[in-house]
Chain A
Amino acid sequence: MSITSRVKKVLTGNHATAYAVMQARVDVIPAYPITPQTTIVEKLDEFIENGLLDASMIRVESEHSAMAAAIGASAAGARTYTATSSHGLLYMYENLWWAANARLPIVATFVTRAIGPPWNIWSDHQDIFTLRDSGWILFMAKNAQEAYDLTLQAFKIAENPNIRLPVGIGYDGFYISHTSEPVEMLAQDEVDAFLPDKRSIKPLLDPSNPYTIGNLPEASFNFLIRKNMWGSMESSIDYIKKVGYEYYLLTGRNYGDLVDKYRCEDADTIFVSIGAMANEGMVAVDRLRSKGHKVGHMALRLLRPYPEDEVIDSIGNAERIIVMSRAVSMGKGGILFTDLIDVVYRNRLNVDVYDIVVGLAGVEVVDNDFIKVYNDVLDGIFDKRETIFLMGGKYV
């Protein structure tokens, strides 16, 4: 049944995403299954089968082909969606960059999962961070509701003629993809009014004006392609905020504030994390606050473009920031930390920043982990120049 009025249902993150994609009335879905993404495209196939979604599901032989087909469809002007995880994302990788450089407004879900070997199906964020430098706009949801909401916003952002960049929505495998919780969905006519007319997408390919794409131009041409992307990325921040506030007016759920702040006012210590574990960080904040500690939590909902001004704002007068990364740049540090430390340096912020790597390979991260790190930071046991690895409550 199509959704004629707002409805609240208990859904997994993956099914919430599938509903949003259906309501966005996508035209083409090239897909290849991989855990924990699979139930998104399975559900979409079911919607097509039941006549709820008028889209072409292209069953391809690999993720590389899935993104190749998505590039073709999007270049022809179709609203295009796909989803993948982990090794699937890596197999897709070459074409993910192609899609960005060709400025194709594809929307994709990246259900995060660790990269092997050894084989592992559980969540960490190494896979999505391989796209950090590509030109994809990247969001990270922390629950099924955000997965739904951000998916709808993604189409609007990607298709804005001044942006025209692919948009990815990430969230943790199992902790969000397969966990069921109440999700409020918009009525179909509300979604139709919120999203742009998909026929307004100016196709890259135009049969009446044929030309080749991806030829070998002068190096300076390529330089300017990347420089133009940089400009679109930077200016997209304002539009992402605008869309977020518009969505806020519609639903009461605020996405205009690009940093999801939790009790940061007057905080002397702020945790930073993303995705499923941000929820644990918030529980830790409540527990520490109840004992009189002035702590807050910042969930970075937008990874790229990096919401620098909002991050600086959120830091306020905090004395220390504890960054909990679920992905590490080998030989450098936690990836959320390296992102943040550059903001701290460029803006000469007087704040101590601690680099903690947790939850790799899906090892569970709980509120106690945040509290332990907080106590140990106050006790001064860390050398700030070090990257600390915490696994299951123990430093390793």
Chain B
Amino acid sequence: MSFSVEIRWHGRGGHGIVSASNLLCEMAMRKGYYGISIPIFGAERRGAPTKVYTRISSKPIYKRSEVRNPDMVVITDASLLHIVDPLRGLKNGGTVVINSHRMGEEELRLLKGYKIVPVNAVEIAIKADLRVGGIPVVTIPLLGGILKVLNIIDLATAEAVIREKWEGELGERNVKALEMAMEVIRA
């Protein structure tokens, strides 16, 4: 069956959206899909808004330019809704996978009309003891949300890829965060 999805990630320098997008491609590849992960680089600074694009398809992918009309947008920090325009070009009824930490009425209002997949990513990362330099790693729980929505990658495949990326105990903490996210998300 033909499948294709275009995703745009909005994060902040240090959140690890490039790594998460690469992981997603590796997982998709293991399930027989084509994947490409395209980071946008400028002057990199920790905390500054960043972007990366993921394309996954059952057919070979040629395009490696900007994703202008994503099917899905991933937002690692709800405050980005006020700083950049993460919903620009998002298809009607498109999906927003968003870190629900500090998401209030106003953010919900901005997301009206889209399919919202909130992930309590900060809480999950803390529970899974997944922090880098003290900061909770929110991209792995968000990846759980994405996998749930895409529904093309099984948990075993996802976990195998994560364990290859981070060996030992760190890998287990990442796996735990992913599992916790997939349990609580209704997609």
| A→B interface (CB under 8 Å) | 8-10, 36, 121, 143, 174-176, 178-182, 276, 279-280, 282-283, 364-367
Residue of A nearest to B22 (CB): A180
Q: Evaluate whether A283 and B62 lie within 8 angstroms (CB atoms) in the complex, with A8-B29, A10-B26 already known.
A: yes
**B18-75 with Cβ < 8 A to chain A:** 21-22, 25-26, 29, 34-41, 61-66
| Residues of A contacting B26 in the complex (Cβ-Cβ under 8 angstroms) | 9-10
Residue of B nearest to A9 (CB): B26
Do A180 and B41 touch across chains, with their CB atoms under 8 A apart?
no
Residue of B nearest to A143 (CB): B64
> A178 contacts which of B25, B41, B61 (Cβ < 8 Å)?
B41
> A282 contacts which of B29, B41, B62, B66 (Cβ < 8 Å)?
B62
Q: How far is the CA of A178 from the CA of B64 in the complex (A)?
A: 11
> A279 contacts which of B29, B35, B62 (Cβ < 8 Å)?
B62
Do A182 and B63 touch across chains, with their CB atoms under 8 A apart?
no
Do A182 and B62 touch across chains, with their CB atoms under 8 A apart?
no
Q: How far is the CA of A176 from the CA of B35 in the complex (A)?
A: 14
Do A181 and B35 touch across chains, with their CB atoms under 8 A apart?
yes
Which 3 residue pairs spanning A and B have beta carbons closest together? A279-B62, A180-B37, A10-B26
Do A280 and B25 touch across chains, with their CB atoms under 8 A apart?
no
| B→A interface (CB under 8 Å) | 21-22, 25-26, 29, 34-41, 61-66
Q: Evaluate whether A121 and B63 lie within 8 angstroms (CB atoms) in the complex, with A9-B26, A181-B36, A182-B25 already known.
A: no
> B37 contacts which of A36, A121, A179 (Cβ < 8 Å)?
A179
Within the complex, the shortest CB–CB distance from A372 to chain B, in Å, comes to 14
> B39 contacts which of A9, A121, A179 (Cβ < 8 Å)?
A179
Q: Evaluate whether A364 and B25 lie within 8 angstroms (CB atoms) in the complex, with A179-B37, A181-B37 already known.
A: no
> A10 contacts which of B25, B41, B61 (Cβ < 8 Å)?
B25
Residue of A nearest to B30 (CB): A8
Residue in A181, A276, A366 whose Cβ sees the most chain B Cβ within 10 Å = A181
Residue of A nearest to B19 (CB): A180
Residue of B nearest to A175 (CB): B64
> A180 contacts which of B25, B40, B63, B65 (Cβ < 8 Å)?
B25
> B29 contacts which of A176, A182, A365 (Cβ < 8 Å)?
A182
Do A367 and B63 touch across chains, with their CB atoms under 8 A apart?
yes
Do B64 and A180 touch across chains, with their CB atoms under 8 A apart?
no
Residue of A nearest to B23 (CB): A10
Q: Evaluate whether A366 and B65 lie within 8 angstroms (CB atoms) in the complex, with A9-B26, A10-B22 already known.
A: yes
Do B36 and A280 touch across chains, with their CB atoms under 8 A apart?
no
Do A279 and B34 touch across chains, with their CB atoms under 8 A apart?
no
| Residues of A contacting B40 in the complex (Cβ-Cβ under 8 angstroms) | 174
Q: How far is the CA of A395 from the CA of B166 in the complex (A)?
A: 48
Do B63 and A279 touch across chains, with their CB atoms under 8 A apart?
yes
| Residues of B contacting A283 in the complex (Cβ-Cβ under 8 angstroms) | 62-63
Within the complex, the shortest CB–CB distance from B33 to chain A, in Å, comes to 9
Within the complex, the shortest CB–CB distance from B81 to chain A, in Å, comes to 25
Q: Evaluate whether A280 and B62 lie within 8 angstroms (CB atoms) in the complex, with A179-B36, A181-B36 already known.
A: yes
Q: How far is the CA of A143 from the CA of B63 in the complex (A)?
A: 11
> B34 contacts which of A178, A182, A280, A367 (Cβ < 8 Å)?
A182
Do A280 and B29 touch across chains, with their CB atoms under 8 A apart?
no
Q: How far is the CA of A316 from the CA of B116 in the complex (A)?
A: 53
| Residues of A contacting B39 in the complex (Cβ-Cβ under 8 angstroms) | 174, 178-179
Do B64 and A276 touch across chains, with their CB atoms under 8 A apart?
yes
Q: How far is the CA of A283 from the CA of B60 in the complex (A)?
A: 11
| Residues of B contacting A10 in the complex (Cβ-Cβ under 8 angstroms) | 22, 25-26, 29, 35, 37
Within the complex, the shortest CB–CB distance from A149 to chain B, in Å, comes to 16
Q: How far is the CA of A257 from the CA of B181 in the complex (A)?
A: 49
| Residues of B contacting A143 in the complex (Cβ-Cβ under 8 angstroms) | 64
Q: How far is the CA of A121 from the CA of B42 in the complex (A)?
A: 8
Do A365 and B22 touch across chains, with their CB atoms under 8 A apart?
no
Residue of B nearest to A174 (CB): B41
Do B35 and A182 touch across chains, with their CB atoms under 8 A apart?
yes
> B63 contacts which of A9, A176, A178, A280 (Cβ < 8 Å)?
A280
| Residues of B contacting A175 in the complex (Cβ-Cβ under 8 angstroms) | 38, 64-65
